Amino acid sequence: MAEEQVALDALGAALSRVPAGTIFCLAAPDEQPLEIPETLYRALKDAVKILSQGAAVAISPLQRRLTTTEAGDLLGVSRQYLTKLIDRREIPCERTGRHRRLQLSDVLEYKRRRDEARLAALSELTAEAARMGAYE
């Protein structure tokens, strides 16, 4: 595990030194370097950063359909709470018989909106506390 951490740290440092606009290439032993698309380079850079922090990385196509349990796990909420969000039409879903399925992209969009709203509320509370002198 320590060897993997050293390798991840070295790779992360190398990736962070690549100047913007540089064409990134990968090469296998005894093969010509292959140009890597910018989107794949950014994904690799993000994955290395996350892995070096000790967290896991999952790659899934955005068109993937999730069960309510999977979507709830992704959002950090219970399946029952997620069902309420669906019933309030905050997240669209498709029905397959009696089961609900959600597009991964819809769940991620809801998460983005939720996180933005949380940050806005936190900023507002912080500003209000500062106006009241809480930070003096």
- Could you give the residue range(s) of every CATH 1.10.1660 domain in the chain? 65-131
> Domain 65-131 has what CATH class?
mainly alpha
* The CA-based dihedral angle spanning residues 96, 98, 103, 109, taken in that order and rounded to the nearest 10 degrees: 150
CA dist., res. 116 & res. 126, Å (int): 15
**Both tokens of residue 126?**
């912080």
pLDDT at residue 1 above 70?
no
**Model pTM greater than 0.75?**
no
Contacts 24+ apart (CB under 8 A), 71-79: 71/102, 71/107, 74/107, 74/108, 74/111, 75/107, 75/110, 75/111, 75/114
Residue entry with tokens 């506390």:
129
pLDDT in tens, 19-47: 877 888 888 888 898 898 888 888 888 89
